[in-house]
Amino acid sequence: MNRAAKSPLLAACAGTLAAISIAASAPALAQAKEQFFPMLVYRTGPYAPNGVPFADGYADYLKLVNARDGGINGVKIAFEECETGYDTARGVECYERLKGKGPTGATVFQPLSTGITFALTDKAPQDKVPLITAGYGRADSVDGEVFTWNFPLGGTYWDAADILVQHVAKIEGGFDKLKGKKIALVYHDSPYGKEPIPLLQKRAKMHGFDLLLLPVTHPGVEQSATWLQIRQQRPDFVFLWGWGVMNSTAIKQAVATGYPLEKMYGVWWSGAEPDVLPAGKDAKGYNALVFLAPAGRGKVHEDVMKYVYAKGNGTAANKEEVGEVLYNRGMVSAMMAVEAVRHAQQKYGKKPLTGEQVRWGLENFSISEAQIKKLGFEGFMEPIKTSCSNHEGAHAARIQAWDGSKWHVTSGVYQSDMKVIEPIIKQSAADYAKEKKITPRKCG
Amino acid sequence: MLYRENGQFKTSYRKDEALLPIAQDRYFILALLAFAFLAVPFLASDYLFLSILNPFLIMALAAVGLNLLVGYCGQISIGHAAFMSVGAYAAYNLMLRVPSLSFLVALVLAGLIAAVVGMLFGIPSLRIKGLYLAVATLAAQFFMDWLFARVKWFTNYAPSGSVSTATLDIFGWRLDSPASKYLFLLAVVTVFTLLARNLVRGHIGRAWMAIRDMDVAAEVIGIRPVYAKLTAFAVSSFYVGVAGALWGFVYLGAWEPLAFNITLSLSLLFMIIIGGMGSITGSFFGAFFIIALPIVLDQVPAALGAPLSTATASHVASMVFGALIVFFLIVEPHGLARLWAIGKEKLRLWPFPH
């Protein structure tokens, strides 16, 4: 090694050491009277088109609560983002990094990734931090007796799959008409995409339709084989369970294959603007589920514009993003976390709360039509009420269609059939408890 | 001045053959081990254990395993994450189906199963070499990805294809705190590193190196390529399989086949290239570089108070990381282990260089 190369090398080594010591000492900083909201986000990588609007909506709502109300009953909200890239190992690292921050530790985690949810489900009980997985995560975590710390508020993939089957049955004119029909599930080959399969299989057996399972490998840009199969098999309906670039690729492939988009139904994670815009006008007629938040603006968006964007504090790079499907869903997710804290404050006092106290707030969570209206979310979500044994609180969704430039809600509210779902939840949760050697608690 | 072997006479073959013939090295390693075993558990925070030290230890073990094959025997493999997944799923199924089994036994059995699978996929190495072999090992990667995603039996018919594990219990010692996990991993890694060190200077290791340097010449002097190459695949896969089981059980706790995808295989390869091929120490440097550095870089802007957005910070961290890889490979193509060796050479002469 020559001498010239030596000094930059030493500098690099010294720099690394300095960085390590900084990183190690950072959590020790003193904190004020604040409630700390950790944010696991993905603003880079193949899932960024969907991760960015969600994260922006989440952050903007927290900013709004600080700017408009001065925090939650006077307790300011502090938050910090950590980039996961939708990668489980990085998500776990982010969780470890953020769980102890703030004067009382992390309030609640919302990883927006089913893979990360699976990993955190094991860690949350030890660290006493609740997880909200609104519309994703483990479907069996509805069972609060086994999954004490998980809250799949508002819906799970089993609800989504059930509602889609109900919807196509309605189109066909009844469940008995589904006999002999063929439904293809094009899914992301990960825990996320595989979640709906048990329910669809059960429904297939009940009504006698054929279920065609077509997995797509991460990240989902290569789907020609999948769509070749669809061309050969000609399913009557296609359910799309994709995320990130996989959605837009699937819609483009469907257009290229000549599959009628009117017969294609996406789950609620396959029904946002970034999914359909790449296919542009051709995507017209494509349908997707909508739960919690459709696109559009309401009273709360006016507030966001007034209190956050007008002051130049907005998170989104482009104001147009405010009111997009995923932006709104991020806002609703943040709102539910904030309301859970507010709820828990009634019991524990108006001060920064620990994750364990917030968990109580989530387990006794209730948001009525009137409150939704008061918060400015009218039309953006259904009422939710949780209990010790039911951590989901609601299982309703609607169907929306893309008209080439906008999403329109096209159906009434569907309720998933708990008679069908409940037994699978109980079975799956019991299996989990056995595997992890958990003794389920008894709910009153 | 301090690091000098003057006056250390080796008066017996035994002393000459010692693992660390120089006294200072011995003391340094002993001090390091003592520090790691006795001091670190009290000094480090939970975050440091769970996010940096534990994954580092497991990946170091995997890198040692891959180094035995690539660095010592010269057979390139870009499918080693597949053998990690074999170890992880083997351990999972053993623990699931034989509940009375101790995790230590399951760990060794998982390693052995990975070794058998590794040997199977090593068979092409008898006929093809170099990059062609590398491509052949890709088959292992894709096959295992497919197997664990599609054959439901391996994941105990979990609907999501994700498996999760219970808290480990080793003869009554529950591995539930970050520090206990760290101590367990450290013990396993120490034992296996010691084994690897001894293996590579024994007759098997010499046979591997002979094959690596020139297989025809090795054959002429009486080394059987079949034996040498397949043992290298077996031992390497054993190590990697054990690392995979630890990665699943101790680090992740719940995983899906995606956790062992080709990115991990490539990361393992980068670890040994940056750390140093054919060096056990290098495997540790490389694992630290690849595992810990991105995490640290990611936190530098926030720690310094730089007002960067999350996306920008993440991009900057990736760029700096990439630049560092290029920098180190230009400064020393033989890896960080070579830099370490050069440093020791210089220290010998210090403060009076020629």
pTM metric for this prediction: 0.87
Q: Flag residues of chain A having pLDDT under 70.
A: 1-32
Q: What pLDDT was estimated at residue B159?
A: 78
- Are the Cβ atoms of A16 and B298 closer than 8 angstroms? no
- Angle, helix B80-97 to helix B262-275, in steps of 10 degrees: 120
Sign of CA dihedral B43, B47, B49, B53: negative
Closest CA to B66 of B275, B283, B251: B283
Bigger pLDDT: B254 vs B208: B208
Using an 8 Å CB-CB cutoff, list chain A residues near B96.
435
- Are the Cβ atoms of A100 and B47 closer than 8 angstroms? yes
Q: What pLDDT was estimated at residue A24?
A: 45
Question: Which of A27, A88, A122 faces B259 most closely, judged by CB atoms?
Answer: A88
Residues in chain B, overall count: 354
Across B266-289, average pLDDT: 94
Q: What pLDDT was estimated at residue A2?
A: 44
Instruction: Say how far apart CA A150 and CA B105 lie, in whole Å.
Output: 33
Kindly tell me the number of DSSP H helices and DSSP E strands found in chain B. Answer: 16, 4
CATH code: domain A30-155+296-394 is: 3.40.50.2300
- Are the Cβ atoms of B297 and A19 closer than 8 angstroms? yes
Return the H-helix or E-strand segment holding A400: strand A396-402
Longest dimension (CA), chain A: 82
Is pLDDT at B246 greater than 80 in this prediction? yes
Where helices occur in A258-324 by DSSP H, the ranges are 273-276, 299-303
- Angle, helix B54-67 to helix B262-275, in steps of 10 degrees: 80
Residue of B nearest to A435 (CA): B166
How far is C-alpha B69 from the geometric centre of its chain's CA atoms? Answer: 11
pLDDT digits (tens, 9 = 90+) for B55-98: 999 999 999 999 999 999 999 999 999 999 999 999 999 999 99
Q: What pLDDT was estimated at residue B277?
A: 92
Q: Hunting for tokens 């296919």 — which residue is that?
A: A279
For the domain made up of A158-290, the CATH class stated in words is: alpha beta
Closest CA to A337 of A47, A65, A50: A65
Is pLDDT at B180 greater than 90 in this prediction? yes
Domain boundaries, chain B: 51-349
Using an 8 Å CB-CB cutoff, list chain B residues near A197.
159
Query: What residues of chain B, 316 to 335, have a C-beta less than 8 Å from chain A?
Result: 324, 327, 331-332
Q: What pLDDT was estimated at residue B354?
A: 66
Q: What pLDDT was estimated at residue A131?
A: 95
Tell me what percent of chain A is helix, strand and coil, each rounded to the nearest 5: 50, 15, 35
Residue of B nearest to A28 (CA): B45
Q: Are A131 and A149 in contact (CB under 8 A)?
A: yes
Instruction: Say how far apart CA A157 and CA A192 lie, in whole Å.
Output: 8
Compute the C-alpha angle B286/B109/B252, nearest 5°: 50
Question: Which of A126, A138, A437 faces B166 most closely, judged by CB atoms?
Answer: A437
Q: Are A207 and A179 in contact (CB under 8 A)?
A: yes
pLDDT, averaged across chain B: 91
Q: How far is A401 from chain B, CA to nearest CA, in Å?
A: 28
CATH code: domain B51-349 is: 1.10.3470
Instruction: Say what the ipTM of the complex is.
Output: 0.84
Instruction: Say how far apart CA A311 and CA A331 lie, in whole Å.
Output: 19
Instruction: Dig out the tokens for A123 from the structure.
Output: 């860690």
Is pLDDT at B314 greater than 80 in this prediction? yes
Residue type, B303: A
Instruction: Say how far apart CA A43 and CA A52 lie, in whole Å.
Output: 5
Bigger pLDDT: B333 vs B285: B285
Q: Hunting for tokens 């075993």 — which residue is that?
A: B37
Q: Using only the alpha carbons of chain A, give its radius of gyration.
A: 22
Q: Where in chain A is the domain with CATH 3.40.50.2300?
A: 30-155+296-394, 158-290
Instruction: Say how far apart CA A93 and CA A102 lie, in whole Å.
Output: 17
CB pairs under 8 A between A and B: 129
Q: What pLDDT was estimated at residue A32?
A: 67
Longest dimension (CA), chain B: 68
Across B11-27, average pLDDT: 86
